[in-house]
Structure 1
């Protein structure tokens, strides 16, 4: 691997005493300081441990898609923050996805070889990203990893075809002037030891300097690859770097990192193959912990975070997960975030090839942690300290031995401060006194002490603001898009949409879906409908979207608008017109529940090799279906309100699009500017699953961030958010954008709205119910003057005990704009399909049923999710590695019934893990003695399943999962059928 060296510049011998941060003083004087906990750490240059490999990031899952479309100079500024030494994160490792035209988290990345032998080395943006990284840091370590693979492989993923495919990718890298340092296998999909041995053999023959890393396993498996390497010498010799995903936890505070004794004894480097960067305002402290504790706790020497930058649409899976955020290419706005500086505190002070000093790398009794590293020749050294688990100031003395005692620079970041100037600032120099350096440490800080120089803090800022929208009208003719490339602002969810010569007798460039066979998909998300998304997620939906279309074979195309989002194996939401050789259909889709509702259909069709203009005209609650300038149908529906545009194609067909146009049909509502409002709440939650949930998120103009009422400890309902409009205004409506991550928990279903002029006396102006879905809701009232508007959440979509309330964005509409209509009440949904067996004609009421389980994975996968009436939530058993099947779910029906069947619906997020395949059903009247009533097997898919049996009296019904996909069990919905 390439390692760079930083040459230190000698410092003066003067000693700087930095108040509240550092003091280089003799021990006798230090004892007179204010009483605080004091500890001493020996930093011995002769205690060299493992070699430091660097902190890096993985660009994958379409995470960098929108960065490519950024204007200059903002794009270069972002790249500098990521890669430029002495400027920002100073990334030392960049791993990229080897694309396969399949959804790999937040989109699909293109394949360089869609057909055997046909290689195109210019597809995608990862080549560009790697070149930009190397241009800034020639010594950055580059690697590649697959999430999916093309469907033409014979023998599946673990085949010789794949090895040849990867070798061709490396040939492409050489064409781009890129030296790849390491390669992997299949992301979070297990491993085949024989294949790895063959893959290493091929690398030795053609690319002997490239190292092989394995196995990019999910955290459930706890370094099982190390066990396999130890047990299989040939496999162990093939793998150069052992890695595990999330050994410090997944989207947690990263309090403790883990490895196994077997892994540590391999004699190989241990890496974190992937760790979530988390949200822009949540990831810095966890990443700083992990950067230190990975070595202290687990002797891990390299860390790769997903992702380097959150550069995908804010309404797509896991938005706002990155060291930086860049979701606004039309304006150039970006958000640096504190995680950049968390990385800088290590990467700007130690190079790959430096050695950890074991004596100077430890946890402190105060809750802080410290790591020390030295250059190979011992001429330079650095110490990094994080104090995020310290609850009070403390004193740390470094007892320095066998290291240079020249003057040292100290840098510090105060992450508890609201002032950006308190991030990554040089606070002075210190001179060891008698071999000792005494530091006064404050909680919530990162400190870096070093003999080196060259550190720096980038100062570039964007000219735009977060509220700058992509303008409508919007048009893309595709004429200026190079052949085989992606059009500006288009982000593929699945498949491959690229510029190509127009067919059907039309001149110029069109946009073509290129994939004609299903890829080998990444198992976490399955295979989505072929689709691509474009536009601003915050677009108010009064617009017409139209495009010219051509089918190259029988099938259909889709044109969609008002797409509020897409997440985890579900198609994009919104209104969709599907039109093809068999007629047309207009339907509404919600991605949170993966629900489709047909609104209209007809027999009008489009033929093969014919150009037609199709579209949707949306104005208020009216949606018109357009074909060649004619209105085929007009429907009234208020389900979808906001969002961007989607184009789709039937699988696995070729079709073309041309001249996409988005034009306004009426003015957007006159919203009170969010930067003139303030929000307060009855309660709010802090950090959870890698995001923060403060009430300020309802006004930050970022759809992916959310407010949540407190749930640790639970605050319950009702909860409320009050908006101070800054001054009295004439207002008539409130908009509520729910969370967009695909989860419905906390979505407000029962609401009340109040207004006030003085903030003391409130008048209720509206109340009602909303559906638990991702679409933006509107509530109106007779216009009146108010300075304060309050939304009260009286009920939510959460049947699992204590309820919460969540909101993505809130908007207040001033009077005098276009007319609005209140979102209608939530419709009643049938609990089971109409073709359910007769044993389920009468059901035991779900709201009277409670559930317990023998095994639970974690929140929010509690057993109550299986009886909450929501198909998007589910119970999940514990990981197979810690609590293998069988696992049980026991339903307490609340009373005795004569029962005759149990219906089972597995998780509906597109992930097959947990599909129960072998089961037993038992019943009981007392909850203690259970009698088996049926057993059997179910298909390993997400369809509705049924188990029927002879009528039996019971209050308790128990489902036992003896086997399930991936060795675990999951249940989205359970219903019990009873006799009439």
Structure 2
């Protein structure tokens, strides 16, 4: 008997399955009666032991689903079908959502259902909506909740009775929405309190019996320590139903090994991957294919959740394009399915929760492939998933089913390795010959074999194209937004903004920041302006943003902000771009950069606003001219070239309440005319491949997606110069180039020293511009006299972080038909130039390193002297081992030392940036003496400490203070006298 998986699919998915069946699949070519010799035989015994499969799902958190809610129909429903409908796409079987706290939790802030102790609002946010949509498509989907932060009104902190009561109220809200929650956790990647879990489990048993407790959603580098704690504490062990650490396969890696521990396995409880990054939607397919098989083979893990299901946040916010799909263009309806979603489909469309792994048919193969086999509870159906990600040449395996239904197997196949390769194709039927099923594995392919039917690809068609910009003529009066709801296209970066009745005698609906007390934060979040962003991150920045504002009440120094040309925001830091700040103490125009974390006051004045009174603010940005207005009166103007492009933002001082109304964006100047991006292509001297979940090909520099990046090959070799060449497709008149650096908060590879050349034939190039750009995330411009060219080349001769790499998020070419653009002024000196004391450095390969504190095996001190700026030394969490922390370098022999070069971590996360330091040295036989001390700015750029030449074999960096109370170093170098 053949079971039809996905019987609860939407009607469209069902019709698609039937249509495919009627058409008839192509005959299989993978299992001829006589074929290639079998290299390995797998016996799949239906009576063999094995754990029960619990499901594969995703985590909607960190504001990852924010823009999905704003998509037009039918595209929004198509995306939801791809995620949740059985027999359609990813067919997610578990959905875990963030329990919001109005605090930044990666790519934004999610609303709390209890912003104050007295206020319960079960309709705040969009996770309720997402869960309802998921359940509507798959009534069998399992739902889970987890916190990233918590409201600040708790007494006793996070691990308190207040939090237990808060979570019970959230579960009551879920019931109001008709949602049945299956699993609840604790605090995302923030450790655990054993006694709290015991009390939490008891509360669930009393008020919501049947909900299972997940523990501990711990930081990836904590490993399986929760299992050790459970083994030592019987009460804690009884309280926890499922172990769910994060990233046991590694953090944003290839996911080649997915181990657990013997202690964890011996507890007799289900082991899950509580969170594993899905990575870029078009780059994570192979790692996910490995993880979905190897989690069980290596670690006996039976459930997996990936962050995130959909990358639906603005491209200039952290970790953009991390999802099974990407949908960050709600104004056009464009989205991209990519290949990652089909890695999930190869498991979820063939296996249901409750099926049992068959241990004899679940193992690694000698060819480098892996196979998992599972059978339905009745034993009447079975499926096998084979991933050949690490297979180097075609190889044929044979499956020998025993005590399983005999007969044909449907075969589905995806070419995961090839760019644009075949994905999730029904390639026919495999017929056993003498009880044996043969399958030839091709490198980089993924296969599913099954007795079931009902699988399908889906048929959604994106609207628009990736190149369609949001209209800059934008207005929002909030009158059509329900009270308590979120305005379309507004995405909170910090704080909580929502529609409410206007105050101070104003009629209608306004947009209000309602949180008045700092939440219990997750990660690095300071008292930065509370803000909400809106608009297209690719807007050319000649526009005015205006709004009516009301600062409700404030201590001295409170203010409201209007911002524009937002190039990004990173890990809870203040939004970048230009900001008009007007408060009770006067006004200022400020420029911020989120990568270097520098804020510059450009101009200011004494004019102020009154608390409790409505005022009109306008920030006008025309070329380099910035002009500020208050109540129609000009406050002042200033010229600045630091910010060029980006969307807009509203803000208020932390933690003050303010209201906004009649928000308007209007163009104030013509946009440069660019060579159309849909006709561009690019090549580069070198490209970096897969790293930390993304790829870095030259095509990313011209794909009109600011979150993707071209990078030259990482590491000290080949170094600079490196170049990327844009092919316009035909000879055209050109007069300028725009360079948008990476927007992920990482300064590595940001081009400073540059040369631009053009060519008609791609062989003979003529220089047209050169100079030194400042180190920042803002868009740069180079201009020249109009010339005909087909090829435009940007050559990087130095990067501001001194990492010997070159990167570009976007390169645009200004055509001769457009208005002239003002070039970015050139600096006289490259920011990368080290002091003379670093002219001679000790070879890193001759050094050794030791540290006083280490945060797990992936962050050892040798990573700071390996010549690879993508690796790092990291001290242990401050709660375990507070600063100071030290790294001691053994130079191998004595040198006349005189300088230390310190490169902070380069992954866009500010945690561990050393802000206060000492440098100590000692000779081979002496004692350590302090030779330098001071403070560094805490951004991602290379820093130096210098001293008088001193003979030493050992050089020690003492980090006395660092961001988030920890220390990290991507690279350390020692300068010596010649």
TM-score w.r.t. length of structure 1: 0.90
Match of 1:838 in 2: none
Give 3-state SS (helix, strand or coil) of 2:553's partner: coil
Name 1:836's counterpart in structure 2. Answer: none
Contact 1:585 1:601 in 2 (8 A): yes
Q: Is the 8 A contact 2:289 2:344 kept in 1?
A: yes
In the alignment, what sits opposite 1:429? Answer: 429
Give, in whole Å, the separation in 2 of the partners of 1:392 and 1:975.
Answer: 42
Does the 8 Å contact 1:63/1:311 carry over to 2?
Answer: yes
Counterpart in the other structure of 1:834: none
The within-5 A match list for 1:162-561 is 162-419=163-420, 422-526=422-526, 528-554=528-554, 555-561=558-564
Contact 1:61 1:107 in 2 (8 A): yes
8 A Cα contact 1:579 1:606, kept in partner:
yes
1:727 pairs with 2:735 = no
Match of 1:770 among 763, 769, 773: 773
The Cα of 1:846 is off from its aligned counterpart by 5.2
**Shift, 1:816, TM fit:** 3.5
Gaps spanning 5+ residues in structure 2: where? 9-16
Q: Contact conserved, 2:28 with 2:429, CA < 8 A, in 1?
A: no
2:850 to 851, 854, 870: 854
Does the 8 A contact of 1:413 with 1:424 survive in 2? yes
Cα separation, 2, equivalents of 1:173 and 1:968: 38
Secondary structure at 2:493's aligned position in 1?
A: strand
Q: How does 1:568-717 map to 2 (within 5 A)?
A: 568-711=571-714, 714-717=717-720
2:13 matched to which residue of 1? Answer: none
Which has the higher mean CA deviation after the structures are superposed, 950-959 or 116-125?
950-959
**Which residue is 2:12 aligned to?**
none
CA distance in 1, matches of 2:532, 2:237: 42
For the residues of structure 2 that align with 1:6 and 1:335, how far apart are their CA atoms? 23
Question: What is the alpha-carbon distance in structure 2 between the residues aligned to residue 449 and residue 221 of structure 1?
Answer: 36
Per-residue deviation at 1:212?
0.2
SS in 1 for 2:928: strand
**Deviation string, structure 1 residues 258-297 (Cα, Å, up to 9, x no partner):** 1000001110000000000000211011001100000000
SS in 1 for 2:346: helix
Q: Where do residues 79-98 of structure 1 align in structure 2 (5 Å cutoff)?
A: 79-98=80-99
Q: 1:848 to 1:536 in 2, by over 3 A?
A: farther
> In the TM superposition, what whole-angstrom CA distance separates every residue of 1:336-382 from its partner, at most 9, and x where no partner exists?
11111110000000000000000000111111110000001111100
Q: Which position in structure 1 is the counterpart of 2:762? A: 759
- Which shows bigger deviation, 712-721 or 570-579? 712-721
Deviations 1:544-592 (Å, cap 9, x if unpaired)?
A: 1111111111310011100111112321110111111100111111111
In the other structure, the counterpart of 1:931 is 927
Deviates most, 935-944 or 356-365? 935-944
The CA distance in 1 between the partners of 2:441 and 2:901, in whole Å, is 60
| Residue of structure 2 in register with 1:888 after alignment | 887
How many residues were matched structurally?
Answer: 947
Structure 1 contact 866–971 (Cα < 8 Å) conserved? no
Structure-1 residue corresponding to 2:11 = none
What is the Cα deviation at residue 720 of structure 1? Answer: 1.1
After TM superposition, give the deviation of residue 527 of structure 1 in Å.
Answer: 5.4
Q: Residues 229-251 of structure 1: CA distance to partner in whole angstroms, max 9, x if unpaired?
A: 11101100100000110000111
Pair 915,591 (structure 1): closer, same or farther in 2 beyond 3 Å: closer
Deviations 1:870-892 (A, max 9, x none): 9x998535889999996414497
Contact 1:526/1:910, CA 8 A, preserved across alignment: no
Q: Distance in 2 between matches of 1:548 and 1:175?
A: 36
| Equivalent residue runs for 1:858-869 within 5 Å | none
Alpha-carbon distance in structure 2 between the residues aligned to 1:749 and 1:948: 22
Counterpart-to-counterpart distance in 1, 2:158 and 2:41: 53
How far did 1:929 drift? 3.6
2:798 aligned residue: 795
Cα distance in 2 between the residues matched to 1:68 and 1:593: 32
Distance in 2 between the 1:404 and 1:163 partners? 48
1:509-566 alpha-carbon deviations (Å, 9 max, x no partner): 1111100000000034555431110000000000011111111113100111001111
For 2:826 and 2:214, how far apart are their aligned partners in 1?
54
Q: Deviation at 1:978?
A: 13
User: What SS is found at the alignment partner of 1:334?
Assistant: strand
Deviates more, 1:248-257 or 1:163-172: 248-257
Note the residue ranges of structure 1 that are not aligned, 5 or more in a row.
Answer: 832-841
Q: Contact 2:888 / 2:956 at 8 angstroms: preserved in 1?
A: yes
Cα deviation for residue 609 of structure 1 reads: 1.4
Q: Distance in 1 between matches of 2:821 and 2:571?
A: 32
- Distance of aligned partners of 1:360 and 1:770 in 2 relative to their CA distance in 1, 3 Å threshold: same
Distance 1:301 1:598 in 2: 54
**In the alignment, does 2:977 pair up with 1:969?**
no
Q: Is the 8 A contact 1:731 1:785 kept in 2?
A: yes
- 8 Å CA contact 1:58–1:306 kept in 2: the answer is yes
The SS at the match of 1:615 is strand
User: Which residue does the alignment assign to 1:52?
Assistant: 53
Q: Does structure 2 retain, via aligned residues, the 8 Å contact 1:495–1:513? A: yes
Distance in 2 (alpha carbons) for counterparts of 1:251 and 1:489: 29
Contact 1:844 1:975 in 2 (8 A): no
* Structure 2 residue aligned with 1:922: 920
Deviation digits for residues 578-631 of structure 1 (CA, Å, limit 9, x no counterpart): 111100111111111111111101001111111111121111111111112222
Q: Contact 1:677/1:726 (CA < 8 Å) preserved in 2? A: yes
User: In 2, distance between residues paired with 1:464 and 1:904?
Assistant: 42
Instruction: Provide closer, same or farther for how the CA distance between residues 367 and 934 of structure 1 changes in structure 2, counting only shifts above 3 A.
Output: same
1:6–1:452 contact (8 Å) kept in structure 2: no
Q: Is the 8 A contact 2:745 2:907 kept in 1?
A: no
**Could you tell me how far apart the structure 2 residues matched to 1:98 and 1:566 are?**
22
Q: Judging changes above 3 Å, is the alpha-carbon distance between structure 1 residues 903 and 24 closer, same or farther for their aligned structure 2 residues?
A: closer
Which region of structure 1 is more displaced relative to structure 2, 314-323 or 747-756? 747-756
C-alpha contact (below 8 Å) 1:40/1:396 kept by paired residues = yes
Partner of 2:821: 820
Q: Is the 8 A contact 2:551 2:611 kept in 1?
A: yes
Indicate how the Cα distance of structure 1 residues 528 and 84 shifts in structure 2: closer, same or farther if over 3 A, else same: farther
User: CA separation in 2, counterparts of 1:185 and 1:628?
Assistant: 48
Residue in 2 that maps onto 1:959: 957
Aligned equivalents of 1:897, 1:963: Cα separation in 2: 24
Cα distance in 2 between the residues matched to 1:713 and 1:329: 41
Distance 1:742 1:782, change over 3 A: same
1:341 and 1:424 in contact (8 A); partners too? yes
Change beyond 3 A, Cα 1:883–1:438 = farther
User: For residues 914-972 of structure 1, what are the alpha-carbon distances to aligned partners after superposition, in whole Å with 9 as ceiling and x for unaligned?
Assistant: 8799x985323x5x34522359999999799x999999944564235699999963259
Take 1:709 and 1:978, find their aligned partners in 2: how far apart are those partners? 29
Matched position secondary structure for 1:164: helix
User: How far apart, in 2, do the equivalents of 1:370 and 1:623 lie?
Assistant: 61
Q: For residues 594 and 968 of structure 1, do their structure 2 counterparts lie closer, same or farther at Cα, with a shift above 3 Å needed?
A: closer
